Amino acid sequence: MTSETEALCTPEPAPTAEKPRGTEVISAFVKTLPNKPGVYRMLNEAGDVLYVGKARNLKKRVQSYTRLVGHDTRIARMILATSSMEFVTTASEAEALLLEANLIKKLKPRFNVLLRDDKSFPYILITKDHAVAQIRKHRGARSHKGDYFGPFASAGAVNRTINALQRAFLLRSCSDSVYDNRTRPCLLHQIKRCAAPCTGEISEEEYADLVGEALQFLSGRSQKVKDTLAKAMEDAAEVLDFEQAARYRDRISALSHVQAHQGINPQSVSEADVFGIADQGGQTCIQVFFFRGGQNWGNRAYYPRADKSHSREEILEAFLAQFYDDKPCPKLILLSDDISGRALMEDALGVKTGTRIKINVPQRGEKLTLVAHAVSNAREALGRRMAESSSQARLLEGVKRVFKLEEPPKRIEIYDNSHIQGSHPVGAMVVAGPEGFLKNQYRKFNIKSKDIAPGDDFAMMREVLTRRFSRLLKEQGSKADSEATGDEDTALWPDLILIDGGKGQLSAVREVMEELGVEDVAVAGIAKGPDRNAGREHFHVNGQAPFMLEPRDPVLYYIQRLRDEAHRFAIGTHRARRKKAIGANPLDEIEGIGPGRKKALLRHFGSARAVGRASVTDLSCVDGISKALAKQIHEHFHEGAE
């Protein structure tokens, strides 16, 4: 934002025998509010943010909440649950809109429309911080010097494009350190995907020409590049240099391959994002297409969380603000549905980007075709999602039947451990529900207890479950308390726990649950069958004899998928911890040894082992190492020695 925001310090309403809520508390705040633009937050008794809104006039906007009549059920429930409010004034309504979007993404209020998938987009980067440019995939902040092209809808789209561009322009993809130390061309040169400037197979000037052609192609001047290559191919053929002509032919073919896999490549739209929205059965899908340089760089489907009372217009408007909160915005945005705050959204995005942004709802021509294509894709994606949800619902109904639950589980937590002969032990938790695996709620547990014998799976499982449910009780209270809030995003209590193990693991879990006083969570163990054959698993449930499912039962396959996902996540976590331990340096454990002193010690002695063998006198000879620090280092490696 262009100016600083000013926080309003509004006094709390006078305390009463019972803390005021709803219209009473809101009316008390209205008396001190200014007639300025800003953002307001509505909080419940626990201090959780219920809703974040922006206003051109804070006083008038908040005053509309001082009565229950005239609001739909969703707003009325929000007003009744409000116990406090917080306010921030801004210099303009456009800045308020930007701040509102930022706070919604950060706080995830229950009554707002939420953008649930917030992954960053990949870009193609052609670097400029080296004499010989490199082409590579890039995510995150644009901290490297170079030209960025994107966004691309997926990493796969970027990889395919880079591969084709390497065939077309022969650009290097190796790191600078690898490039600087090459003595002969690598395999990429042999398969005609790199010009090998590292070993002088091409001069830096000729390589710069290739980079220039690649920049032209990615900037939308693809036809000019292809015409230039076609002429060069013809010239080579005329002088009977058929080998060179074949190289130009292959490069032209690679460029055609890039464009052929992009689907629609509009003639009248050079740079734009296209949004198409579809809704059905209370669910919404927004499909986003990215066009840059006149080329289609892919699309992605989003499924924002919104109450059924929200209109398509409200969902699309809220989605746009959150979508561009941390992403670059093109100069043109095409929408399938108009939004009431279109002018304000243009101003806000213009403030953010420093350029003029235009939002259109096309009525004819090629732009309308692009929007219709986005809407069609949104409908198809929503249909597939609803079909998958229906299938998932049937599987969860089967889980209810198998484990004799009262209702189909909304949240299943699956636990597993991983270690190698007791070393680097970790626990893992994966979560599944009506929408499949909830990967943003997976958790890993480094086993911390020193009293656990190496390889004691029962003790490791006890530690994992104790830590998990102790924290859950502390943060949310009992399961009944959590369900009473009715908040899907904060009610993180599972309906079913699955443990990879048999009777022993199940007993360990039951002990933990009894110690913590948790009684309303079902627990089941999955023991591998004879010879560890998939399909012959035995299920252990407290108070029941072990049982098996029919080999072709879809519920059995579903439970196997849950178990295998927990196993995959646990092994991956263990490998990451083991790899980190292998790369650890003993010098990192010594207080007072930072990166500079560590580098100086390793440069002087050659290795951490040599540092450990050095005397105090030798250590103190290193730049930056005082006698006191040298003694501390020596004592660290010779602890307990006479």
Tens of pLDDT, residue by residue over 113-137, are 988 766 778 888 999 888 889 999 9
SS3 at position 13? coil
- Beta carbons of 106 and 16 less than 8 angstroms apart: no
406 burial class (0-12, 13-18, 19+ CB within 10 angstroms)? Answer: exposed
* Rounded distance between C-alpha atoms, residue 548 and residue 289, angstroms: 48
**Which of 365, 283, 371, 386 has the alpha carbon at shortest distance from 334?**
371
Instruction: Let me know how long the chain is.
Output: 642
- pLDDT band at residue 339 using 50, 70 and 90 as cut-offs: very high
* Orientation angle between helical segments 457-476 and 503-516, nearest 10 degrees: 30
Sign of the CA dihedral running 235, 237, 240, 243: positive
Beta strands in 412-547 (DSSP E): 412-420, 423-433, 436-437, 443-446, 496-500, 522-527, 538-541
- Tally of CB atoms within 10 A around 236: 18
Q: Which domains does the chain possess?
A: 6-107 (3.40.1440.10), 123-260 (no CATH), 272-383 (3.30.420), 412-571 (3.30.420.340), 586-637 (1.10.150.20)
pLDDT at residue 511 in the model: 87
pLDDT of 143 above 60? yes
Amino acid (1-letter code) at residue 340: S
264-320 residue pLDDT tens: 556 678 889 999 999 887 889 999 998 887 778 888 899 998 888 888 899 999 999
* Rounded distance between C-alpha atoms, residue 527 and residue 428, angstroms: 17
135 burial class (0-12, 13-18, 19+ CB within 10 angstroms)? Answer: buried
As a three-state string, the secondary structure of 45-85 is: CCCCEEEEEEECCHHHHHHCCCCCCCCCHHHHHHHHHCCEE
236-278 residue pLDDT tens: 777 787 777 777 777 777 666 665 545 555 667 888 999 999 9
Q: State the chain's mean pLDDT as an integer.
A: 82
pLDDT of 420 above 90? no
pLDDT at residue 533 in the model: 57
Q: Which of 5-14, 66-75, 481-490, 546-555 has the lowest mean pLDDT?
A: 5-14
- Beta carbons of 62 and 35 less than 8 angstroms apart: no
- Beta carbons of 492 and 441 less than 8 angstroms apart: yes
364: left (phi over 0), alpha (psi -120 to 50) or beta: beta
- pLDDT band at residue 4 using 50, 70 and 90 as cut-offs: very low
**Which of 71, 138, 540 has the alpha carbon at shortest distance from 307?**
71
pLDDT at residue 90 in the model: 92
- Beta carbons of 95 and 101 less than 8 angstroms apart: no
508-522 residue pLDDT tens: 888 888 888 888 888
pLDDT at residue 372 in the model: 92
pLDDT of 529 above 70? no
347-374 residue pLDDT tens: 999 988 888 999 999 998 888 999 999 9
* Rounded distance between C-alpha atoms, residue 116 and residue 101, angstroms: 13
Distances (CA, A) of 14 to 27, 215, 336, 373, 575: 12, 65, 49, 57, 57
* Rounded distance between C-alpha atoms, residue 111 and residue 528, angstroms: 44
- Beta carbons of 352 and 324 less than 8 angstroms apart: yes
Beta strands in 96-145 (DSSP E): 123-127, 135-138
* Rounded distance between C-alpha atoms, residue 146 and residue 155, angstroms: 19
- pLDDT band at residue 430 using 50, 70 and 90 as cut-offs: very high
pLDDT of 41 above 60? yes
**How many Å is the maximal CA-CA distance in the chain?**
98
- Beta carbons of 513 and 523 less than 8 angstroms apart: yes
**Which of 444, 439, 450 has the alpha carbon at shortest distance from 418?**
444
Beta strands in 281-328 (DSSP E): 283-292, 295-302
pLDDT at residue 642 in the model: 42
Residue 286, strand partner residues? 277, 302
pLDDT at residue 477 in the model: 74
**Which of 517, 427, 417 has the alpha carbon at shortest distance from 472?**
517
pLDDT at residue 531 in the model: 56
pLDDT at residue 484 in the model: 57
pLDDT at residue 17 in the model: 46
Residue with tokens 């464009």: 259
Under 8 Å CB-to-CB from 94, ≥6 apart: which residues?
Answer: 344, 347, 348, 350, 351
- pLDDT band at residue 639 using 50, 70 and 90 as cut-offs: low
296: left (phi over 0), alpha (psi -120 to 50) or beta: beta
pLDDT of 3 above 50? no
pLDDT of 228 above 90? no
Higher-confidence residue: 3 or 308? 308
* Rounded distance between C-alpha atoms, residue 368 and residue 337, angstroms: 11
Beta strands in 306-381 (DSSP E): 332-335, 358-360
Sign of the CA dihedral running 176, 182, 187, 191: positive
DSSP designation for 599: H
Residue with tokens 């012959």: 536
- Beta carbons of 425 and 460 less than 8 angstroms apart: yes
pLDDT of 332 above 90? yes
Q: What are phi and psi of 361, to 5 degrees?
A: -120, 90
578-588 residue pLDDT tens: 777 665 667 77
SS3 at position 633? helix
- pLDDT band at residue 89 using 50, 70 and 90 as cut-offs: very high
- Beta carbons of 471 and 451 less than 8 angstroms apart: no
- Beta carbons of 6 and 33 less than 8 angstroms apart: no
- Tally of CB atoms within 10 A around 121: 20
pLDDT at residue 408 in the model: 92
Token couple for 594: 């930072």
